[in-house]
Amino acid sequence: MFAELVLFVLVGAAVDIRIAFAAGGFALLLLIIELTARFIGVQFCLIKSKYNKEERIFSGIAYLPKATVQAAIGALPLAYGVPHGDLILALAVFSIIITAPLGAIGIDVTYKKLLRLEEKENAE
């Protein structure tokens, strides 16, 4: 837990978010394409699982938030001197800023309905 906190502080200190906003629509389009591909990938992985349709959809929503991996590897291109490493880091942080709250809200709004928790609670 402490290491994650330090990781996010260090990444936040290294990023210039203005670079991500300068990328503008391209950054948002790239993020939408990636999230769509991730959601579809989860659905393919769960085709032969025991989960029903609603549980598979919830699994796709639960996989939308991204943060720790992006924070851990987003700064590597910058550290290794890769051209446009600052842009890669800024886009990694941009994806964290967008997907973490989006995923948390999506999970919070859909879990009772998609996982049928209300029916299970009423059955008990």
pLDDT tens profile 74-102: 778 877 888 888 888 888 878 888 888 89
Q: Is 10 within the bounds of a domain?
A: no
Q: Is 9 within the bounds of a domain?
A: no
Q: Is 113 within the bounds of a domain?
A: yes
Q: Is 3 within the bounds of a domain?
A: no
Q: Give this prediction's pTM.
A: 0.73
Cα 40 to Cα 42: distance, rounded to the nearest angstrom: 5
pLDDT of residue 15: 66
The H helix count followed by the E strand count for the chain is 8, 0
pLDDT tens profile 30-62: 889 989 999 999 999 999 999 999 999 999 999
Q: Is 6 within the bounds of a domain?
A: no
AA letter at 82: V
Q: Render the burial of 22-47: b for 16+ CB within 10 Å, e for the rest.
A: ebeeebeeebeeebeeeeeebeeebe
pLDDT of residue 51: 94
Q: Is 107 within the bounds of a domain?
A: yes
Number of domains in the chain: 1
Structural domain of residue 94, as residue ranges? 15-123
Q: Is 81 within the bounds of a domain?
A: yes
